[in-house]
Structure 1
Amino acid sequence: MSKTINSTVIIGKSSNKPLTARRPGYGTMRLTGEGFFGEPANRPAALKILKRAVELGVNYIDTADFYGPGVTNRLIAEALYPYPVDLIIGTKVGAKRGDDKSWNPFTKPEQLRESIENNLKELKQEQLSLVHFRFMNGGEETFEESLAAMFDMQKEGKILHVGLSNVSKDLLQNGLKMGKIASVQNLYGYTQRTTLSGHLGGAGGEEIMDLLEENQIPLIPYFSLQTSIGKDQTKIEQVAEKYGLTTAQMNITWLLNRSPLMLPIPGTTSIEHLEENLKAAHIILTNEDIEFLA
């Protein structure tokens, strides 16, 4: 049996201002209204869960200005500002919601700048600790042109660390040639490790893990629980039963045991589920468990 499991992960390890995030973090997208659009059905409950997450030791909260849009950013500021000194708020740019709830590319340099200014204003920050550039196909601009704009804003002091989201191995390699990449946010979960099609899908994490490990870059998986729904989870259900956990908890446990660079951000609107998710961080799987779940 493994003797320990890392409780933290370093974001921006190659920089002179690395950030230490406790595992797991908390993803806010589910705090929005139906279809991840509009205000939450129960705003006081949404504020309460953010406060409870921090009380329980969570210091990495994931958001985006296109969640809502603007909803999760404003909830975070209302619930937690002025922020604890060790709180890391990771946000994301590169998309915009249409009035019809569509998800649209918003990756031109001037659009990215608009999103950065939105995030700064909504989060009441002078500098964003971590911004993931989510690359969406459909725009005229290139990945390199858009990422260059991100690094320009980093030089201006608007961004401390630049991350990437929804990137293939080739795009990640290109990004590493252009500057320091602090983290990557790709689709990843026990039953969904590679590319998922659809408007909410994206590039998977399995194909880039070797490159992330080589460069000591954390993977912040999204949809790590949702994509497991309706798929064969027989093995993970068996291991979950062995440890007295729910399947959702075991998904988080598997991610944490999968790599010390993994920073899961399970989202929930329930304080009970939040507490269950955090308990999953203390389960150490045996080598036999990990081989069984491979």
Structure 2
Amino acid sequence: MQTFPLGSFSVGRIGFGAMQLPGPGVFGPPRDRDQALAVLRRAVELGINHIDTAQFYGPDVANTLIREALHPYPADLALVSKVGARRDDVGAWLPAQQPDELRADIEQNLATLDTDRLAAVNLRIHSGDPSAPGPVDRELFDRQLTAMIQARDEGLIGGIGLSSITTEHLQIALDRTEIVCVQNPYNYVDRSSQPVLDACTERDIAFVSFFTLGSGFFADNPVLGHPDIQRNAQRLGCSPAQAALAWALSVAPNVLVIPGTSSVRHLEENCDFGARTSAERMSAHRNR
């Protein structure tokens, strides 16, 4: 599998997103706990060494499953979490953006994952819409960065990442510190984060695409059903999901994808060799 640096780790460009492991709406326990554990174990068996999670997935559920399935963790496994949000008692997504909340969430991630250090933690800029970057609040963002830098300098996290950001966020952050990854929505249909991706590519920063296969938050998912994706899947003899992943990987060498699933079969499909190698073959056909 092709790799790219994520802080001090060299990770495969296909990782695993733990968002689909909890119950419906990323809330509550999984429908099938044994299957969720099996997915995580199979991911590592397939060579995945980048797992994306968050304390607010469940809440607590995704991290607890990861710990139960994989602890003690392989030395090359990059566990990446995010902070900046929380859930209420009915599963609503709420902001947790103050510096003391970020610090508490980092410590809670460490506790539930049972680890002393995370490969990276993404500061998620809350906008109320999981598919849209948050606005720039310079005063708050500066204080957030201070909290993240302190956590890194104390050894709690290996690197600082940013999620759901604009190019303005990225430039402000880079003026203060190193950023090891950026995590924004990006797929064949939604390329609104292209300027952020371009800025990351210029600086050799890992760009972690989420919603690469479309968003599960919305009933209408135009990615896998897009005529171009369907046509390329047929031409390459692969599934639409593999074609969509291959397209994303073909855009730039620093693009990482983290498709999530609660199915071992879908996991194996996402990691299939054809999906990893067809990026080159698709590059001449992608629609810029």
Q: State the TM-score, normalizing by the size of structure 2.
A: 0.90
Residue 207 of structure 1 pairs with residue 200 of structure 2:
no
Change (3 A) 1:292 1:146: closer
Gaps of 5+ in 1: 1-5, 13-17, 195-204
1:158 aligns to what? 156
2:131 aligns to what? none
AA partner of residue 221 (structure 2): I
Contact residue 189 and residue 222 of structure 2 kept, 8 A: no
Looking at structure 1, the residues matched to 279 and 120 of structure 2 have their Cα atoms a distance apart, in angstroms, of 29
1:276 aligns to what? 269
Shift of 1:245: 1.1
Change (3 A) 1:229 1:182: same
After superposition, the C-alpha distances for 1:7-29 in whole angstroms (9 at most, x for unaligned) are: 001112xxxxx210012000010
1:223 aligns to what? 211
Change (3 A) 1:28 1:292: closer
Looking at structure 1, the residues matched to 155 and 229 of structure 2 have their Cα atoms a distance apart, in angstroms, of 44
Shift of 1:137: 4.4
Q: What SS class does the counterpart of residue 29 from structure 1 fall into?
A: helix
Residue 40 of structure 1 pairs with residue 30 of structure 2:
yes
Looking at structure 1, the residues matched to 155 and 279 of structure 2 have their Cα atoms a distance apart, in angstroms, of 40
Contact residue 236 and residue 293 of structure 1 kept, 8 A: no
Shift of 1:286: 3.5
AA partner of residue 285 (structure 1): E
Shift of 1:213: 1.3
Gaps of 5+ in 2: 129-134
Looking at structure 1, the residues matched to 279 and 96 of structure 2 have their Cα atoms a distance apart, in angstroms, of 41
After superposition, the C-alpha distances for 1:140-171 in whole angstroms (9 at most, x for unaligned) are: 96111111110011111111111000100111
Looking at structure 1, the residues matched to 75 and 151 of structure 2 have their Cα atoms a distance apart, in angstroms, of 23
Looking at structure 2, the residues matched to 151 and 292 of structure 1 have their Cα atoms a distance apart, in angstroms, of 38
Looking at structure 2, the residues matched to 57 and 191 of structure 1 have their Cα atoms a distance apart, in angstroms, of 29
Shift of 1:291: 4.0
2:242 to 232, 249, 255: 249
Question: Equivalent pairs: percent with the same residue?
Answer: 40
Shift of 1:293: 2.9
Shift of 1:226: 2.2
Looking at structure 1, the residues matched to 181 and 240 of structure 2 have their Cα atoms a distance apart, in angstroms, of 27
Looking at structure 1, the residues matched to 205 and 148 of structure 2 have their Cα atoms a distance apart, in angstroms, of 18
Q: What SS class does the counterpart of residue 186 from structure 1 fall into?
A: strand
Looking at structure 1, the residues matched to 43 and 76 of structure 2 have their Cα atoms a distance apart, in angstroms, of 14
Contact residue 242 and residue 270 of structure 2 kept, 8 A: yes
Change (3 A) 1:292 1:166: closer
Looking at structure 2, the residues matched to 251 and 292 of structure 1 have their Cα atoms a distance apart, in angstroms, of 10
1:7 aligns to what? 2
AA partner of residue 76 (structure 1): I
1:67 aligns to what? 57
After superposition, the C-alpha distances for 1:238-257 in whole angstroms (9 at most, x for unaligned) are: 11100111111101011111
Looking at structure 1, the residues matched to 101 and 189 of structure 2 have their Cα atoms a distance apart, in angstroms, of 34
| Corresponding residue pairs, total | 273
1:178 aligns to what? 176
After superposition, the C-alpha distances for 1:47-75 in whole angstroms (9 at most, x for unaligned) are: 00000000010010110001001110110
Shift of 1:216: 0.3
Shift of 1:100: 2.2
Residue 97 of structure 1 pairs with residue 75 of structure 2:
no
Looking at structure 2, the residues matched to 62 and 230 of structure 1 have their Cα atoms a distance apart, in angstroms, of 24
Q: State the TM-score, normalizing by the size of structure 1.
A: 0.89
Looking at structure 2, the residues matched to 209 and 22 of structure 1 have their Cα atoms a distance apart, in angstroms, of 18
1:120 aligns to what? 110
Looking at structure 1, the residues matched to 285 and 236 of structure 2 have their Cα atoms a distance apart, in angstroms, of 16
AA partner of residue 52 (structure 1): R
CA-atom RMSD in angstroms: 1.8
Q: What SS class does the counterpart of residue 195 from structure 2 fall into?
A: helix
* Deviates further, 177-186 or 153-162: 153-162
1:285 aligns to what? 280
